[in-house]
Amino acid sequence: MKLLVTGGAGYIGSHTCVAAFAAGHEITVLDNLCNSSPEALERVERICGKKPRLVVGDIGDRACVRALLDAEKFDATIHFAGLKAVGESVEKPWEYYENNIAGTLVLLDELRRHGVFNFVFSSSATVYGNPDPANLPLREDAPLAALSPYGATKLWLEEMMRAMAKADPRWHFMLLRYFNPVGAHESGLIGEDPGGIPNNLMPYITQVAVGRLKELTIFGRDYPTPDGTCVRDYIHVCDLAEGHVAALAKVADLPGCTAINLGTGCGTSVAQLVASFEKATGRPLPHRYGERRPGDAAACWADATKARELLGWVAKRDCDAMCRDAWRYQSMNPDGYRRG
């Protein structure tokens, strides 16, 4: 297939480019590079022997999107482009609504004008809000809620796509709800490259291990979980990337709007992830226990049955592989793509 990949220079996008090339697809990336480096696509070339075409531009820039769609005919879009920091979205809601919602509406409008109706969307487990423990593991029909402006952008875009699919049978939307993507390509060439001090657990851990940060604070040890620390469904980014390839293989056969969890179906606690990481590096990771982080759910993990049944996809890589690969990338690139 000929693919338009928005946000393809980012963390999940660059890994998906590798998986999509391996499956024989052709790729054009549209990315404004607001949270990524073109170096990621150079690295994709080192892994795959070919490079996606990069168009530097914004999904909300109608003239840019139109010119791209006038010039190239695509079979499907994978839409990663968006801002993704929960805390920042509380500080800057307008920027999140503008970038994620207004931007996506321009993209969708130009796609329909150009007859490109296969659309794979980066949604998130954030649409389940703070899940009721009675609903774990989370199925796709669990109740939905937005707890932040970021979460609201995912939920509202999902709602818009459901309505658009109902009104126009030409649309084929896949709403892929990612759980907690971590890890890196096994080559160590591409991985997560957050600017500033990371908010998410795995990049924080790897930056402590490489000496950029002093110690990890584990937020809370009095949750109603087996070891008192929060439980999440960590998924290796390469499994997630392969999930997109599996979705592409089915999108043309699935009209309407289909929501699918991409997770492993297993919960792992923060303390267990730290132990896996220490095993991967063979060294203790400096850490201490601190207060709970406001807003954190005690536990959140996926029921991954629908992905298996509908896409024939299951996550294959375990927590040890996630930690090993995250560590390889961080140690080969101690300052991310800026050096290394």
Would you tell me which residues interact with ligand NAD (CB under 6 A)? 6-7, 9-13, 31-36, 58-60, 80-84, 99, 103, 122, 124, 178, 181
The partner in contact with residue 80, picked from ligand NAD, ligand UFG, none with C-beta cut-offs of 5 to 8 angstroms by kind, is ligand NAD
Residue 185 token pair: 């390509």
Q: Is 128 a catalytic residue?
A: no
Which residues contact ligand UFG by CB under 6 A?
A: 84, 86, 124-126, 179-180, 199-201, 204, 216-219, 230, 232, 270, 293, 296
Q: State the Cα–Cα distance between residues 314 and 309, nearest whole angstrom.
A: 9
Residue 61 or 318 with smaller CB distance to ligand NAD:
61
Picked from ligand UFG, ligand NAD, none, the partner binding residue 58 (CB below 5 to 8 A depending on kind) is ligand NAD
Q: Which is nearer to ligand NAD, 90 or 221 (CB)?
A: 90
Residue 137, contacted partner among ligand UFG, ligand NAD, none, CB below 5-8 A by kind: none
Q: Which of the residues 96, 150, 223, 234 is marked catalytic?
A: 150
Annotate 172-198 with DSSP letters as a single string.
EEEEEEE-EEE---TTSSS----SSS-
Pick from ligand NAD, ligand UFG, none: which does 152 bind, CB < 5 to 8 A by kind? none
59 binds, among ligand UFG, ligand NAD, none (CB under 5 to 8 A by kind): ligand NAD
Output the CA–CA distances (angstroms, integers) from residue 302 to 135, 199, 234, in the order listed: 10, 22, 10
278 in Cβ contact with 272 (< 8 Å): no
Q: Considering only CA atoms, which of 178, 179, 177, 171 is closest in space to residue 257?
A: 171
What is the smallest separation between the CB atom of 24 and ligand UFG, expressed in angstroms?
30
Least distance in angstroms from the C-beta of 292 to ligand UFG: 7
- Residue 204 interacts with which of ligand UFG, ligand NAD, none, CB < 5 to 8 Å by class: ligand UFG
What does the block give as tokens for 51? 């490079």
Q: Which is nearer to ligand UFG, 187 or 200 (CB)?
A: 200
Cis-peptide, bond into residue 137, ω within 30° of zero: yes
Beta carbon of residue 276, minimum distance to ligand UFG (angstroms, whole number)? 13
Nearer to ligand UFG, 84 or 328 (CB): 84
Least CB distance to ligand NAD at residue 282 (A): 27
**Shortest Å distance, C-beta 154 to ligand NAD:** 7
CA 241 to chain centre: 9
Nearer of residues 115 and 290 to ligand UFG, judged by Cβ: 290
Residue 53: φ, ψ to 5°: -70, 130
Give the residue ranges of DSSP H helices in 24-92: 39-48, 62-71, 86-91
- 86-98: string of b/e by CB count within 10 Å (b at 16+)? bebbeeeeeebbe
- Neighbour tally for 169: CB within 10 Å: 10
- In the complex, the smallest distance separating the C-beta of residue 325 from ligand NAD, rounded to whole angstroms, is 15
CB 118 within 8 A of CB 170: no
Sheet holding 172-178, edge to edge: 53-56, 26-31, 2-6, 76-79, 118-124, 172-178, 256-262
Q: Which is nearer to ligand UFG, 23 or 86 (CB)?
A: 86
Give the residue numbers annotated as catalytic, written as ranges.
150
